[in-house]
Amino acid sequence: LDMTGLALGLFGAAFSIWAIAHLRASFGLRTAVRELVTSGPYRRIRHPLYVGEIVHVSGIALLAATPAALYLLVLAVALQAVRAKIEERKFLASVPEYAEFRRNTGFLWPKVF
């Protein structure tokens, strides 16, 4: 579990950094409508930063291997899902291109069809 946790943690952190690099000035800690980014990981997934953070926290939970770590993982996933849904509502209300972007990309995982 240690190697798997370490690998997940590092991969999740790297994926998050890649997503942030593509967000540039659109990155913020609070949910807000900024520029619609459709490059890099955003070409296939609407919320790759949250995916990276979830994978990162999953790795940490595996490394810790405690009930508290599992609880924190579940909490992190729930909070990221809520945050993503809030962002989706804001973008749909203010960015006309977002509806098409939403049809063509996956929420947290690339669309297969």
pLDDT in tens, the chain (113 residues): 689 999 999 999 999 999 999 887 555 555 555 678 899 999 999 999 999 999 999 999 999 999 999 999 999 999 999 999 998 999 999 999 999 999 999 999 998 76
For 39-71, what is each residue's pLDDT tens digit?
A: 999 999 999 999 999 999 999 999 999 999 999
The pLDDT of residue 19: 94
Residue 111 in domain:
no
Strand, coil or helix: 109: coil
Residue 35 carries which DSSP code?
Answer: P
Q: Is residue 97 part of a domain?
A: yes
Asked if residue 113 is part of any domain, the answer here is: no
**Alpha helix segments (H runs only) across the chain:** 2-23, 48-64, 67-94, 98-104
Domain that holds residue 100: 2-24+38-104
Q: Answer yes or no: is 112 within a domain.
A: no
Q: Nearest 5 degrees, angle CA 108-CA 112-CA 113? A: 125
Q: What size, in residues, is the chain?
A: 113
| Domain contains 30 | no
Query: How far is the C-alpha of 97 from the C-alpha of 82, rounded, in Å?
Result: 22
In a domain, 31, yes or no: no
Domains contained in the chain, number: 1
